[in-house]
Amino acid sequence: MDKLIITGNGPLDGEVWASGAKNAALPILCATLLSEGPVTIGNLPHLQDITTTLELLGRMGVEPVLGERMTIQLDGAQVKDCHAPYELVKKMRASILVLGPLLAHFGTADVSLPGGCAIGSRPVDLHLRGLEAMGAEISVENGYVRARVPGGRLKGAHVFFDTVTVTGTENLLMAASLAAGTTVLENAAREPEIVDLADCLIKMGANISGHGTDTITVVGVERLHGCEYDVMPDRIETGTFLVAAAMTGGRVRVRKTRADILEAVLAKLEEAGASITTGADWIEADMQGKRPRAVNIRTAPYPAFPTDMQAQFVALNAVAQGTARVVETIFENRFMHVQELNRMGANIALEGNTAVITGVEQLSGAPVMATDLRASASLVVAATIARGETLVDRIYHIDRGYECIEEKLQLLGAKIRRVPG
Ligand code: EPZ
């Protein structure tokens, strides 16, 4: 297993670009199952999860065609087998996003039920209940969701989500696009990645309104066609590099990104003492050599502070001036990075869903273990400011969501290299 070796090397300084957003690319790739014609997708990040999704679509009969500008062309009309096998779903729980499109386009789907994951139990009951409200008959047998649509076509429904769910909203949004009649999704998630998916579906011919608000209305259409669509920039990757600037007292400009989808994060960076400047497609955080100030954080659904930036801000608070409280309200087990940061000399105590962090002057390098995607990002940024060498193990986690992390950090002056395991 590959590892990363990182030696603290003072303030990070320079420019990097944001890749396409993983959490927009995954549902958009699955949405191609709805099309009757080629969908050409651009700005796709080169990540393990993208590869897994293309493999999943390939198993169903959809052959990816590589185009100019590194685009990928996919045609849902090629589907021959509406089956998502365990060995792929276990690698990536977002595979559940094929369920809605397969049911809506082909009236049948067998999808392995995602298991729990490091950050929480993460059930998909709201996905299944919503699809049942649209007329699907669903059973869970032998670890698989077996779903059928008597009569072959889903019908519009009024769905209220008990809990705000990102992929639940995405699954029903895709299903409703080809359903007979109107669907209203209430208490829907408002994440920018959902707006990106809806914009792509609209280019395929869908009739959607209210995306980006907590009430989305979809008037189903008979069929969806091909289109060309570029995936939005990754706001979490962008935020991670800006936190690295703030932690190291440096100055980092992230290009090919958007400030309007990062308001909660940028506000917290300013509170920590960073000077934030933005342009049409760039954001710069400049700490002017200062030590960050401790900032309190409470995660919640968009537009509030994203849970996917929580671990990075725990790391920032670990070297900040003062004491901070970080409250995680979305996932029940998303503090696995805390003990690893304490191994690097941080002073963090856990009280239920709250991390109480007393900033220290200096972290020290140590061998640490990545446990999930964002936890691994927090260990990597912490290592860029720690005295001495840090060895980060199990970095397959970070490869799932960060494209060329070491090359990009090297551009900012970090001393980081990958060693094959
Ligand atoms: C998406 O996961 C993201 N993944 C996650 O990013 C992100 O952390 C999460 O949204 C929250 O923003 C993708 O987009 C691929 P949820 P998702 O359904 O959709 C409960 C990363 O680091 N729930 O919004 O799986 C659930 O247990 C990843 O890139 C139910 O109870 O998250 C959780 O407590 C990690 N029943 C809460 O809702 C359901 O049917 C929110 O989860 C669905 C969800």
Distance from the alpha carbon of residue 122 to the mean position of ligand 1, in angstroms: 7
The model's pLDDT over 367-417, given as tens digits with 9 standing for 90+, comes to 999 999 999 999 999 999 999 999 999 999 999 999 999 999 999 999 999
Q: Which atom of ligand 1 is nearest to the CA of 374?
A: 22
Ordered DSSP codes for 177-214: HTSBSEEEEES----HHHHHHHHHHHHTT-EEE-BTBS
User: Where residue 59 falls among pLDDT bands split at 50, 70, 90?
Assistant: very high
The pick from 167, 265, 405 for probing ligand 1's pocket by mutation, whose C-beta has the most ligand atoms within 8 angstroms, reads: 167
User: Where residue 69 falls among pLDDT bands split at 50, 70, 90?
Assistant: confident
C-alpha–C-alpha distance, residues 131 and 137, integer Å: 8
User: Where residue 351 falls among pLDDT bands split at 50, 70, 90?
Assistant: very high
The pick from 330, 332, 403 for probing ligand 1's pocket by mutation, whose C-beta has the most ligand atoms within 8 angstroms, reads: 330
**Percent of the chain whose pLDDT exceeds 70:** 100
Q: Tokens 């080629």 label which residue? A: 38
Which pLDDT value is given to residue 141?
Answer: 95
User: Where residue 118 falls among pLDDT bands split at 50, 70, 90?
Assistant: confident
Ligand 1 cavity residues, CB under 6 Å: 23, 26, 94, 120, 122-127, 163, 165-168, 307-308, 330-331, 373-374, 401
Q: Kindly report the protein residue whose alpha carbon is nearest to atom 41 of ligand 1.
A: 165
C-alpha–C-alpha distance, residues 337 and 348, integer Å: 10
Q: Which atom of ligand 1 is nearest to the CA of 331?
A: 34
What would the mean pLDDT of 292-314 be, rounded to a whole number? 98
Is the distance from CB of 78 to CB of 63 less than 8 angstroms? yes
Q: Which atom of ligand 1 is nearest to the CA of 170?
A: 19
Q: To which H or E segment does residue 90 belong?
A: none
Distance from the alpha carbon of residue 43 to the mean position of ligand 1, in angstroms: 23
At residue 115, what is the residue type? G
Judged against a pLDDT cut of 90, whether residue 267 lies above it is answered with: yes
- Computed over every residue of the chain, the mean pLDDT equals 97
Q: Which atom of ligand 1 is nearest to the CA of 193?
A: 14
Q: Kindly report the protein residue whose alpha carbon is nearest to atom 25 of ligand 1.
A: 167
Query: Residue 420 region, left (φ>0) first, then alpha (ψ -120 to 50), else beta?
Result: beta
Which pLDDT value is given to residue 117?
Answer: 83
Which ranges of 15-119 does DSSP label H, i.e. alpha helix?
Answer: 22-31, 48-59, 86-89, 99-106
Distance from the alpha carbon of residue 165 to the mean position of ligand 1, in angstroms: 6
User: Where residue 256 falls among pLDDT bands split at 50, 70, 90?
Assistant: very high
Which pLDDT value is given to residue 70?
Answer: 83
Which pLDDT value is given to residue 286?
Answer: 98
Which pLDDT value is given to residue 421?
Answer: 76
Distance of CA 113 to the CA centre of its chain: 20
